[in-house]
Structure 1
Amino acid sequence: MKKRILFLAASVGLLMGCPDDETTTPQSKTFEITVTNLTVAQPLSPIAILSHSADYHLFKVGEAASLAIEKVAESGDNSDLLAEKDSNEQVKASYSGSGVILPGEQDTLTVSISDDDYALLSVASMLVNTNDAFIGETQLDASQIEVGASYSMNMPVWDAGTEANSETAATIPGPAGGGEGFNAARDDNDKITFHAGVVTSDDGLATSALTATHRFLNPAARVTITRTE
């Protein structure tokens, strides 16, 4: 008992001797996030990556897409999504890819996380030769990845449900169509679901601007998160 009392007294003394203004600075963690395009003829729009808290969801399957996701899925425009670091207190930081990711190629972004409360990651990009197909993952937890370790996962294709999958040249912004991108009107089922794929003109949809090469099977991309520091 005497030893325990002495130990407690010594502990209290040490605590009392610590200056009030000393705080522990969280160690910053650095990651390289690579997205690889696995399709044959579907370029991916510049990727958007957000670091955020557990209260944030980039999207939820079966629910309506946000305006930011709609713009990514219909036109590849990620500016609204990137701006959520300023408009949403649950989003700590946002990062944009350097450009379009062509089939078989990849893009790598460096992401820094200084607070484990905001160590969840979300990723999104459009398959540009579609009406509103996108790849996206949300709430990927990077907090437990050790230095030198990597985490990879395949990314399926989602249908934003904001634009009918007509496949006409006028409604596809990619090189296969060169048509309209974002349109505020929602003329589909207005909920995010797994994408059923494209029909194409080779399979009987005469008005389609797409050919068999534009078809995609899941997964369409792979994301790899590597902690470097």
Structure 2
Amino acid sequence: MNKLTPIIPFACLLLAACGGDNDDNMVTTPVPPAPAPTPTQYEFKVTALNLTNAQPLSPLGAALHTTGQFWTIGEMASEELEKLAEGGDNSGLLGLSVVNASASSDAPLGPGSMTELMLTTTSLTDQKISLISMMVNTNDGFTGLNSIDVSQMAVGDYAKMNTRAYDSGTEANSESSGSMPGPADGGEGFNALRDDIDKVAMHPGVVGNDDGLSTSVLTSEHKFDNPLMAVTITRVK
């Protein structure tokens, strides 16, 4: 009886002939790492109009932050706020550790004038905007917005607000010659000595020489009433 010879498929013979050792000769092309994603940017435009008659405002400072406040009514002013309120220097407040983005105008904002600032961040979570400026024809008066929540604003959304006049409580409102840095006096700015109530309060306003404060270098034209600035915050990106 003839024996049956098993038929081995040709493909199997080829595989057997190839063997497994040739895997060492395969060339592997390295896969380049994926590029880091570009952070999303969110941008806000801040415009401010000086509504006063004769109170130039110091260069406007604007900041984005997620915690903290620049001032609290009834509490002592920080040294950074004192330097702003007495001398118009906003660098201390804009340099606080809680600030994650800031901008400042280059020049004082005269009565009837408008300025525009841009603020950019990579996160909207808990973002707040604060603005700060000094009424330079006062001893320690300032105005601004304190921790305005912008975290829920969509592109194209805007908010219109007015600012009020505050007193840092760090320098007596003497209005006397040499005590104010604005053009009505040209006197000193920041002075570390605190000779007032040492608490932030609403500003009582200017008295002036015309209304009986004989030592004042201010006149009735320097008086102001609330509001001080008209502000618009717009999310543009």
TM-score norm. by structure 2 comes to 0.82
SS in structure 1 of the partner of residue 125 of structure 2:
helix
Q: How many residues align?
A: 205
SS in structure 2 of the partner of residue 100 of structure 1:
coil
Partner of 1:63: 75
Q: Please tell me whether the aligned partners of residues 135 and 156 of structure 1 are also in contact (alpha carbons under 8 angstroms).
A: yes
Per the TM alignment, residue 115 of structure 1 is displaced from its structure 2 partner at its CA by: 1.1
Per the TM alignment, residue 136 of structure 1 is displaced from its structure 2 partner at its CA by: 2.1
Q: Please tell me whether the aligned partners of residues 55 and 110 of structure 2 are also in contact (alpha carbons under 8 angstroms).
A: yes
Which amino acid in 2 is paired with 1:67?
Answer: E
Distance in 1 (alpha carbons) for counterparts of 2:131 and 2:38: 28
- The structure that is helix-richer by fraction is 1
1:216 to 203, 220, 224: 224
Partner of 2:174: 166
Q: Please tell me whether the aligned partners of residues 162 and 186 of structure 1 are also in contact (alpha carbons under 8 angstroms).
A: yes
Which one has a bigger Cα radius of gyration?
2
Partner of 2:57: 44
Q: Please tell me whether the aligned partners of residues 91 and 118 of structure 1 are also in contact (alpha carbons under 8 angstroms).
A: no
2:92 to 80, 83, 86: 80
Partner of 1:30: 43
Distance in 2 (alpha carbons) for counterparts of 1:57 and 1:117: 17
SS in structure 2 of the partner of residue 171 of structure 1:
coil
Distance in 2 (alpha carbons) for counterparts of 1:124 and 1:227: 19
Deviates further, 210-219 or 93-102: 93-102
Which amino acid in 2 is paired with 1:41?
Answer: A
Distance in 2 (alpha carbons) for counterparts of 1:128 and 1:141: 28
1:147 to 155, 163, 168: 155
Could you give the per-residue CA deviations for residues 166-224 of structure 1, whole angstroms, max 9, x where no partner exists?
Answer: 00121011000111110000000000010110100010111101010100000011221
Q: Please tell me whether the aligned partners of residues 98 and 107 of structure 1 are also in contact (alpha carbons under 8 angstroms).
A: no
C-alpha RMSD over aligned residues? 1.7
SS in structure 1 of the partner of residue 162 of structure 2:
strand
Q: Please tell me whether the aligned partners of residues 65 and 161 of structure 1 are also in contact (alpha carbons under 8 angstroms).
A: yes
Distance in 1 (alpha carbons) for counterparts of 2:86 and 2:169: 10
SS in structure 2 of the partner of residue 125 of structure 1:
strand
Corresponding position: 1:97 with 2:105: yes
